[in-house]
Structure 1
Amino acid sequence: MEPPPQPSAMDALHEAGIRAAVALQAGPPWLEQFWLFLSSQLDPNSIYTVCFPLARGLDEHVSLMVLWIALAAEWLNVVLKWFLFGERPYWWMHESGLSEREQLPLRQFPITCETGPGSPSGHCMILGAALWPIVTALSKAASRYSRSRLLRLIPFLLYVLLLVAMGLSRVFVLAHFPHQVISGSLAGMALGWGLQRRPPNFLRVRFFLLTALGLLLSALALHGLGTAAGLDLDWSLRRASARCSEPAWLRPETRPWASLCRVSGSALGLALAARHPPSRRELQGLEPPLGSATLGLLALDVLHKLPKSDGTALWYLNVGARYALGPVLVGSLLPQLILSVRRLRANP
């Protein structure tokens, strides 16, 4: 009788990740609610709909950098997931036979069943990249009020703690293995640091139009080349459908193509917003800017809660249109609307 095959190093890494998820899910109930809240409320979509408009309360340039870095990070994350073929815990434990060899006290949640490949973690990578300009802006602001090095480091310490908590939450809900959240966090930090050093000119309409087209066409080309080379880049959709405990938890917004529509739409929105930007002299009239930021937050919340079309093609087109409208609302239409109202009040 032949001995059973020895598990590979990757299998051992995956099994260690499953043990970590078991330990996390065995924690107190209040901690469970914290993990679920963090993983559901700080998903990649929140960068576009929450962090971007709120960052305008800090600085206009910072908010545009948040959006620009987020869309670059999300595009890269989709491409890496296609070609790294990362597993997800909620299906790997069944596909590997681990769940048959022993009883695992693990549960799935409505946010568990993401349909794209698992490596690297998009939550950690996109959040880590997009929050970098906010953290550096807060650190610089602290240095203007105090020479204390500790005060300047506090934003970075909170940033690291947030990424650690996000990584634990993704392991908890069985969406990622620990090595995937670590690689995603490190990639996000590096990307945020690198892109912030070379910011684009946000008034160049042609640049962002070409970016929107380039991001979508390059993704289509890479997917087509991978498929022509014999790679099955849609394998994760079948795994997710087979292993998700509730079919209703398979959300279309977790598909890679939904991410690419979000990215291309946001780049197009930056181009449209750059056509009619309010001048810096006019923006000074919006001080304090929190009112404009709050109005933008509410407008985006209403925009993204509108019902979407049922057909697949129309659904993706609808997603792209909403994310294209977001930068226009926050960066151009709402500030100009507030300025117009104030002019009318000043000169009835």
Structure 2
Amino acid sequence: MESTLIAGIAMAEALQNRLPGLENMWLWVTFLGDPKNLFIFFFPAAYYASRRLGISVLWITFITEWLNLIFKWFLFGHRPFWWVHESGYSSQTPIQVHQFPSSCETGPGSPSGHCMVTGAALWPVMTAISSQVASRSHSPWVRAIPSLAYCTFLLAVGLSRVFLLAHFPHQVLAGLISGAALGWLMAPRVPMERELSFYGLTALALMLGASLMYWTLFTLGLDLSWSVSLAFKWCERPEWVRLDSRPFASLSRDSGAALGLGIALHSPCYAQIRRAHLGNGQKIACFMLAMGLLAILEWLGHPPQISLFYIFNFLKYTLWPCLVLALVPWLVHTFSAQEAPPIRSS
């Protein structure tokens, strides 16, 4: 295993030093592949394109991110930015690698969440686009474009994670394979508009299941916070260690999104919009308004205390599906109806 880790460091060094001028590109790619962006950008974009597609993206995102958390707890994967120091490799071998603000994540490294969660959540998007292309073109080369774009984007995300010293190549590969497999398995089985109790129980199962697993392993003598202490120990700047990279931050996000999805689907606003048909202009307006409201939520910041942050994160991601699915479309539809000129009878 040590030879695999050393080869991963050599690959990161090559990406950082032998491909000059690509730093901003890798930083932008890793930002796009962040699982958090699946909630705040890809989910509303997919939903306003297709109601079923948006719900699929959201459901697969929070289920896969929860599974990624569980896998990381059991696999105990090191991250390159601390392994080079903790193992003593950097003192034995001269290497030229450096950290970035996105390097200092606090959870274990295997498998890569960027690759696993993003790969799974974008699978239904890729298949939906592929079916649209296939219905309009008989050329096998044109039909292959969505699949090729999907694979290219995920490969770029994986390389960016290696570049940043956030993951080793084998962790990226594990994330890519598991993400594509989960996307393929889950996309046809996404529950659509179940009872509110179903989503409430799903949120409760995510929260209690992970918490029970954590405390069971802790009772057995396994310190699941080992990666947090290593991140603080070896990150070049303390401010680079973000609260939202902690394992329980993703858990609060996932359970909140599950509950928010159920509340949104059973709200009066959604029931009214469900019967209406929004035009393309209205859908674009919905997306822009949703992004504006998100900017306000981000501007509010978050509490510095870790326990209050988890509560705030849970409430924020409970609110977000309600805004995207119900409140924003209802507002756009209501104001559009008021602004429409009355039809005069001749």
Q: TM-score, normalised by structure 1?
A: 0.94
Name the structure 2 match of 1:106.
97
Which residue of 53, 58, 66 maps to 1:75? 66
The yes-or-no answer on 1:174 pairing with 2:165 is yes
Query: Does 1:284 find its partner at 2:277?
Result: yes
Q: Secondary structure at the match of 1:30?
A: coil
Measured after TM superposition, the shift of residue 204 of structure 1 is 2.5
Identify which of 182, 191, 203 aligns with 1:191: 182
Q: 2:325 aligns with which of 314, 319, 331?
A: 331
Which residue of the other structure, out of 261, 273, 287, is the alignment partner of 1:270?
A: 261
CA change 1:149–1:204 in 2 (3 A) is: farther
CA contact (8 A) 1:79 1:219 kept: yes
1:283–1:17 Cα change, 3 Å = farther
1:13-43, CA deviations, whole angstroms, 9 ceiling, x for partnerless residues? 1000000001000134421110111113431
Q: CA deviation at 1:186?
A: 0.8
Q: Deviations over 1:149-198 (max 9, x none)?
A: 32222111100000110000000000000000010011111111111121
State the partner residue of 2:295.
301
Contact 1:283 1:335 in 2 (8 A): no
The answer as to whether partners of 1:202 and 1:270 remain within 8 angstroms in 2 is: no
Structure 2 residue runs of 5 or longer lacking an equivalent are: none
Question: Quick check: 1:89–1:175 contact (8 Å CA) kept in 2?
Answer: yes
| Counterpart Cα distance in 2 of 1:27 and 1:188 | 29
Q: 1:51 to 1:210 in 2, by over 3 A?
A: same
- Among all aligned residue pairs of Structure 1 and Structure 2, give the percentage whose two residues are the same amino acid: 43
Q: Any unmatched runs of 5+ in structure 1? A: 1-9
CA separation in 1, counterparts of 2:187 and 2:32? 25
Question: Comparing 329-338 with 137-146, which one deviates more in the overlay?
Answer: 137-146
1:204 and 1:147 mapped to 2: Cα distance? Answer: 41
Equivalent residue number for residue 156 of structure 1: 147
Code of the residue aligned with 2:329 in structure 1: it is P
Q: What is the aligned counterpart of 2:310 among 307, 316, 320?
A: 316
Kept after mapping to 1: 8 A contact 2:81/2:235: yes
Contact 2:256 2:316 in 1 (8 A): yes
What code does the residue aligned with 2:336 have? R
Alignment partner of 2:165: what SS? coil
Q: In terms of mean alpha carbon deviation, does 73-82 or 276-285 score higher?
A: 276-285
Distance 1:342 1:282, change over 3 A: farther
1:207 and 2:198 correspond: yes
So what's the TM-score if we normalise by structure 2?
Answer: 0.94
> Aligned partners of 1:278 and 1:25: how far apart in 2?
52
**CA RMSD in angstroms, aligned pairs only:** 1.5
1:143 equivalent in structure 2:
134
The match for 2:33 is 42
Q: Which residue of 1 aligns with 2:117?
A: 126
- What secondary structure sits across from 1:284 in the alignment? coil
Which amino acid counterpart does residue 307 of structure 2 have in structure 1? A
Is the Cα contact below 8 Å between 1:286 and 1:339 reproduced in 2?
no
Q: Find out whether 1:20 has 2:11 as its counterpart.
A: yes
C-alpha distance in structure 1 between counterparts of 2:170 and 2:100, whole Å: 21
Q: State the alpha-carbon separation in 1 of the partners of residues 48 and 123 from structure 2.
A: 16
Aligned mate of 1:51, from 38, 42, 55: 42
What amino acid is aligned across from residue 319 of structure 1 in structure 2? Answer: N
CA distance, structure 2, for counterparts of residue 291 and residue 146 of structure 1: 30
Count of residues in correspondence between the two structures: 339
Q: Is the 8 A contact 1:203 1:275 kept in 2?
A: no
Q: Give the deviation of 1:279 after TM superposition.
A: 5.2
Q: Deviations for 1:43-75, whole angstroms, at most 9, x for unmatched residues?
A: 111000010111123211101100000000100
Give the drift of 1:280.
6.7
Residue aligning to 1:6: none
